[in-house]
Structure formats: C-alpha cells, structure tokens
C-alpha cells in the first residue's frame, strides 16, 4: 500500500473513530450513577422527609448527611402541632420551629408546615371554649400568628388536617362542634391573608377510599366556591403491601387533580405488620393489645418481605412518574425505620420496617428500587 493511499484511508477513518469515541462518552454520561433521590427526581417533584427534633438539631451527622443528600423538602414531624407551638392561650413557643426553618434554609430545602388546624395533639385549653365567636377569634389568631411569623419562608402549609370521617362526612372535632363547617374555609382564608404566596393544602389519610375521596372533593369545592384560596390536597400515604391498589391510588390522583389543584403524596410509609381487625385508617388515638402474632419480625425483616417492600415502592413510584405533571411533592413520614411512628401504633412495642433506610441508616432494597427507575 502506498503512503498516499494510507494517508487517504486515515482521512476517511478518523471522523468515524472520533464519532465512536464521542458516542461512548455520551453513553457513559447517560449511564452515570444517580447518587441521591433528590437528584434522580429533580425534574419530577420534590422528594421530602418528615424530621424530628434530634434531626432538626443535627445531633447525628449520618442522619444529617442522609437528609441533606437525598431530600430537598422537609416537614416537621411534630413540633409545629398546636400543643407544642401554642401551649397556653397567650404563649407561643417558636424555639423548635425556628430551628426547623434554619435547618431547611441551611440545606436549601422546600419547607412544608404541618399543621395549623387538627383535632388531635391540640393545645389543651381549646376545649374550654364553647362560644363560636371566641373560637373563631382564637383560631384566627393562632393561624395568623404562626403563618405571619414565617411569611415568605415556609413554601406550603397543611392548613387543615384530617377533617373527614371514613364515610366522607365532617369529623366531629371541637372546631366543627363550636363553629360549624365555616371553620374550614375561614382557616384557609386566614392563612392566605397572613401569607398570600404560600401554598395551602388540605391533608388527610385514606384519601383513596371512594367515600372519603368524594367527601374531600366536596370539602375542597366548597372552599373554592367561596372564592377562598386552596392550592393543593395532601394524600397521606400510610399504605400497606397489598392495599390500596395502584388503580385506586391513580384514580384518586386524577380526581383531585381535576379540581385544578396540586396533589402532594404526604406521610408516605408502608406498614409491613398485621393490622388489627377493627383498625380505622391512620387515626392516632387507636390502641390495641400486644401479642406475638402482631409483631412477627421483632429482630429482622426476612429477605422475602424486603423484596416485597422494594417491589411495592417501585410500583408506587412508577405511578408517581406517570403522573408527575400532577404531583408537587412526595414526602416520607420519617427517614429511617427506627424513627417511624408505626413501631408503636396502633400497638406499643412492635418492630416495623416501613421506610427506605434501616435502623443502621443503611439504604434498603426499597431505596434501590426507587432509584433504579431513574438510573438511565
């Protein structure tokens, strides 16, 4: 082969070699390892976690590292509930809530406030009020004081939490008993006055059940029809390995979205333990007796159940991705298994495994199953 011919062939081959090289680099870029939940789902919705006092105060560096690496939204697990933030008529305690805000701002989080109006974990003196005007004034002061304090800093609020019975009727809370149903639109109105730019949500459990879903839709439409701002609905994801079905979850996401509001998946965890026969939703005041049968995995979760949990989370997140245009935020109710409220509810002393990180703060197969959906 002559030198001239060799030179000619090289001229023809070099562009092809360069293209192959570029393609290999591009493929490697596309296949790069996704290292966190928030990075994987950054173009879909916020990935959130409910955090407790020790996590807010950064008492454990590994906990802090997980929260800041994997999540870009936080919710206060307990400290913003009225019994803690408003313990006496004329006394507000913002010590922990200020720390919660500081944590979120330090790590550039979307900050969600939970919750302004709830029938449980109430400030203890509220039951003394029997006059509707006095109750309205008290509730207005409570809402406006808290929301105004964090105006422009809290991105969204659960204004009213769990106001419905399982059949979709209004729960007989102290607010309903004294003020009637007017407390619902008024609560949203007062929150909107205090901070017009924060998103306002109604939040509840069992929101996939048809009767309760219909009740929630009626509640939201009533607020909307009065010209009051309501931006979204929170579907608490206190679900199980077998229920609700993916079809039920999907039907609910679509139904709420059709109201013209955002849908947040809140308080997500998957209960792996047997359910007492008379258990009603996620009502926190229920208690049942201990038994070995109700605590089948006291020391370790079997691999078979780990795999089922991973598949359940994968199926759920496949659905969330399908409806990413409707979902604003997905928030897990805790970070690691040892923190979960399901260890003691509705039976004290049980060992549950509902979250993505185990008690040693190691990611579980469920974590990998969610991350794998966004690996490519």
Q: How far apart are CA 103 and CA 49, in angstroms?
A: 13
Looking at residue 11, its pLDDT comes to 43
Give the domain CATH number at 158.
3.20.20.80
pLDDT tens digits along 178-212? 999 999 999 999 999 999 999 999 999 999 999 99
Residues 74 and 51: beta-carbon distance below 8 Å = yes
- Residue 177 annotated as catalytic: no
- From the list 105, 140, 162, 287, the catalytic residue is 162
Is residue 76 included in any domain, yes or no?
A: no
Q: How many CB atoms within 10 Å of residue 140?
A: 17
Please report, for residues 48, 148, 280, the alpha-carbon distance to residue 137 in angstroms, rounded to integers and kept in the order given.
33, 16, 33
For residue 295, give its domain range: 124-271+284-372
* CA separation for the pair 101, 142 (Å, rounded): 18
pLDDT digits (tens, 9 = 90+) for 273-293: 998 765 555 555 555 455 678
- Flag whether pLDDT at 320 surpasses 50: yes
Q: Is residue 19 assigned to a domain?
A: no
Number of domains making up the chain: 1
- Tell whether pTM > 0.85: yes
User: Looking at the domain assignment, is residue 355 inside a domain?
Assistant: yes
In a domain, 294, yes or no: yes
In a domain, 52, yes or no: no
Inter-residue contact 163 to 173 (CB < 8 Å): yes
Specify the pLDDT at position 9: 41
Is there a domain that residue 79 lies in?
Answer: no
pLDDT over 80 at 26, yes or no: no
Query: Catalytic residue at 162?
Result: yes
- Does 18 map to a domain? no
Residue whose pair of structure tokens reads 């109105």 in the numeric block:
189
In a domain, 242, yes or no: yes
Average predicted confidence (pLDDT) for the chain: 91
- What phi, psi does 40 have (nearest 5°)? -65, -40
Q: List the catalytic residue out of 77, 128, 267, 287.
A: 267
| Across 285-303, average pLDDT | 78
Sign of the CA dihedral running 256, 260, 261, 263: positive
């Amino acid at each position: 082969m002559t030198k001239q011919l060799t030179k000619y062939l090289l001229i023809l081959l070099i562009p092809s070699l360069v293209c192959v090289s570029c393609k290999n680099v591009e493929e490697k870029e596309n296949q790069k390892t996704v290292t966190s939940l928030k990075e994987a789902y950054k173009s879909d919705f916020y990935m959130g976690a409910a955090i407790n006092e020790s996590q807010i105060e950064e008492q454990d560096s590994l906990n802090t590292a997980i929260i800041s690496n994997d999540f870009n939204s936080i919710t206060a697990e307990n400290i913003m509930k009225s019994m803690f933030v408003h313990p006496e008529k004329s006394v507000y305690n913002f010590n922990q809530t200020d720390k919660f805000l500081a944590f979120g701002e330090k790590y550039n989080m979307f900050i969600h406030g939970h919750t302004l109006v709830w029938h449980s974990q109430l400030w203890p003196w509220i039951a003394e009020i029997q006059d509707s005007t006095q109750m309205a004034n008290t509730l207005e002061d409570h809402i406006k004081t808290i929301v105004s304090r964090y105006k422009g800093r809290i991105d969204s609020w659960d204004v009213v939490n769990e106001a419905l019975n399982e059949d979709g009727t209004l729960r007989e809370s102290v607010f309903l008993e004294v003020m009637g149903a007017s407390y619902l639109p008024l609560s949203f109105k007062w929150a909107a006055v205090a901070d017009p730019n924060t998103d306002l949500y109604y939040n509840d459990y069992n929101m996939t059940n048809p009767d309760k879903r219909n009740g929630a839709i009626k509640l939201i439409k009533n607020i909307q029809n009065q010209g009051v701002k309501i931006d979204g609905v929170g579907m608490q994801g206190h679900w199980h390995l077998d229920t609700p079905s993916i079809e039920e979850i999907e039907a609910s996401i679509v139904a709420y979205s059709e109201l013209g509001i955002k849908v947040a998946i809140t308080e997500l965890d998957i209960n792996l333990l047997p359910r007492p026969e008379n258990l009603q939703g996620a009502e926190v005041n229920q208690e049942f007796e201990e038994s070995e049968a109700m605590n089948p995995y006291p020391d370790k979760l079997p691999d078979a159940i780990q795999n089922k949990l991973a598949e359940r989370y994968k199926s759920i997140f496949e659905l969330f991705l399908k409806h990413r245009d409707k979902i604003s935020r997905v928030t897990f109710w805790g970070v690691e298994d040892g923190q979960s409220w399901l260890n003691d509810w509705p039976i004290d002393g049980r060992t549950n495994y509902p979250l993505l990180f185990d008690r040693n703060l190691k990611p579980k197969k469920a974590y990998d199953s969610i991350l794998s959906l966004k690996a490519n």
